Amino acid sequence: MVYRSWYDRRKGGATSDPHGRTRRAALLTFAGGAAAIVAACAARQATRTVTPTGHPGDVTGAFAYSGHVLTPLGYGDLAGWEHDNHAEALAAFARSSRLIRDSSVLAGVSRHAWRTAGAAADGALAGAKGSRGEDVARSFFESRFQPVVIEDLSRSLFTGYFEPVLEGSRVQEGVYQTPLYAVPPERKSRRRKAPSRKEINEGALEGRGLELFWVADPVEAFFLEIQGSGRIRLPDGSMTRVGYAGQNGHGYYAIGRWLVEEEIIPREEMSAEAIKTWLRDNPEAGVELMQRNPSYVFFRELEALDPSLGPLGAMEVPLTDLRSVAVDRSVHPLGCPVWLETELAGVPFHRLMVAQDVGGAIKGAQRADIYCGSGDRAGLMASAQSAGGRIVTLVPRTALAEWVASGPSVPVPEPEAAPEAAPGAEPGAEPFTLGDPAGTGAGAPAPGEAPLPPVRGSSRA
């Protein structure tokens, strides 16, 4: 069996680069008196030979629902599935399996099915600790879930984030001169905006007792807001944690975009580390540039969190290095298992993950942010991460079949081959780029934004 996306089949067998360097979109119109349904299928996966699972009750055939195209797969369609550490993934899944709250495209799938799968995870985890633990864990996922690719007009992009470690103090002294603030009372209702970054830097919150910590590096403080959580190393060597508590209500401005547009940092060299270097080498201009971003993040101290565990994600459970991923919760249910096929540090990264976090920049069916861990090494990995690929959602098997049979979706017929290209056109050329129907380039990634997503991280809706 050969896996090809719905759009590949429409193009008469064309395939795409395995990491999304070739991206296509299609407009699907369905007859029957209903309004036209616009959906997208991005060809992201190279043709390869796979082995069908033949699992009883498997749903087959692509279908459209709520502006998306959903394509059920078998486990033989997942590159490297048999080589992953499923027991490790099961442990991460079990942390949040009872907390799944589905408000996604798959909300029609029975909530009872998610709860049942979540409850079964604890038993499977106990069995996975034995001598045949890997077989138990793999069997748990294969018997209870069916892989489903969800596609829309969003571009395929997989970035990374991490938990930074900052030098700080509970009091303003010596090198510790940059405050981290708690949420002002007036902002807790979200009806009023708090002061802008520039106003805060000019003292708008001083004297109100909102300072949680004072840190040594204003640049790291700025990037802490982007990550959403971090550790603070105090003068006595002890560690504590801070997590996202709120935002001031102002829009986000990507300073990386400006640095590329002004040709200060070449697009191909853009990364978080490149931005940090420029800000430190140009302190006055750096302050002015950071203040162009009026958005400001407030924090809370996380005293009870075990230091051996990762930071809290949006589900209020600790994240797991290279097993937790931030997704668009309107597409993928928070807490569900997802299969990633992308690259990390320049090598293939095919791994079972758990959707346990969200992010302001993480929007779209094929967009995700990989949690890389804590500290400088994880930071370098996250900063360099920007690749295409695909994400496959694991959906409770029985509930998926019942949902599809109940008729909320529209089957996508096997489409006819596309008409011949116009004279002089490149074979297989597309009339527009993904996310940019007008061909203006508006759908392309904003300069400098890929490695520097807007505010994301723990406890955000």
Q: Are residues 174 and 125 in the same domain?
A: no
168: in domain: yes
Domains of the chain: total: 2
70: in domain: yes
Of 295, 314, 333, at which residue does a domain stop?
314
Q: Are residues 272 and 252 in the same domain?
A: yes
222: in domain: yes
429: in domain: no
Q: CA-to-CA distance for 388 and 395, rounded, in angstroms?
A: 23
Q: CA-to-CA distance for 207 and 318, rounded, in angstroms?
A: 34
Each residue's pLDDT tens digit, 67-106? 888 999 999 999 999 999 999 999 999 988 888 866 677 7
Q: CA-to-CA distance for 336 and 113, rounded, in angstroms?
A: 12
Length of the chain: 461
| CATH code, 272 | 2.40.240.50
Question: How distant is the alpha carbon of residue 67 from its chain centre?
Answer: 20
Dihedral sign (CA 423, 426, 429, 431):
negative
Q: Are residues 89 and 192 in the same domain?
A: no
Q: CA-to-CA distance for 329 and 461, rounded, in angstroms?
A: 8
Q: Are residues 166 and 310 in the same domain?
A: yes
CA separation, residue 460 to residues 126, 314, 366 (Å): 31, 6, 20
Q: Are residues 114 and 189 in the same domain?
A: no
Q: Are residues 113 and 166 in the same domain?
A: no
Q: CA-to-CA distance for 421 and 428, rounded, in angstroms?
A: 7
For residue 30, give both structure tokens: 């369905």
Q: Using DSSP bridges, classify how beta strands 297-301 and 239-247 pair: parallel, antiparallel or unpaired.
A: antiparallel
**Within 13 Å, how many C-alpha atoms sit on residue 274's CB side?**
20
Q: Are residues 222 and 87 in the same domain?
A: no
Report the candidate in 154, 174, 86 with the shortest Cα–Cα distance to residue 124. 86
Q: Are residues 44 and 116 in the same domain?
A: yes
CA separation, residue 77 to residues 98, 339, 427, 442 (Å): 28, 11, 28, 33
Q: Are residues 69 and 29 in the same domain?
A: yes
Residues 6+ apart with CB under 8 A from 421: 427, 428, 429
Q: How far apart are the first and last CA of the chain?
A: 40
Q: Are residues 99 and 209 in the same domain?
A: no
Of 411, 427, 446, at which residue does a domain stop?
411
Q: Are residues 140 and 275 in the same domain?
A: no
Q: CA-to-CA distance for 168 and 93, rounded, in angstroms?
A: 33
Per-residue pLDDT of the chain (461 residues; tens, 9 = 90+): 333 443 344 334 333 333 333 333 332 332 232 223 223 333 333 322 333 445 766 788 888 888 888 999 999 999 999 999 999 999 999 988 888 866 677 776 767 788 888 888 888 888 777 667 788 999 999 999 999 999 997 789 999 999 999 999 999 999 999 999 999 998 987 788 999 999 999 999 999 999 999 999 999 999 999 888 899 999 999 999 998 899 999 998 989 999 999 999 999 888 888 999 999 999 999 999 999 999 999 999 988 778 788 888 888 899 999 999 999 998 998 999 999 999 998 899 999 999 999 887 788 999 999 999 998 899 889 988 999 999 999 999 888 888 877 765 566 655 444 444 444 433 333 322 222 222 223 233 333 333 333 333 333 33
| CATH code, 67 | 2.40.40.10
Q: CA-to-CA distance for 173 and 424, rounded, in angstroms?
A: 70
Q: CA-to-CA distance for 244 and 360, rounded, in angstroms?
A: 12
Q: CA-to-CA distance for 456 and 461, rounded, in angstroms?
A: 10
Q: Are residues 330 and 232 in the same domain?
A: no
376: in domain: yes
Q: Using DSSP bridges, classify how beta strands 178-181 and 165-169 pair: parallel, antiparallel or unpaired.
A: unpaired
Of 389, 411, 433, at which residue does a domain stop?
411
304: in domain: yes
Q: State the residue range of the domain holding 132.
A: 6-159+317-411
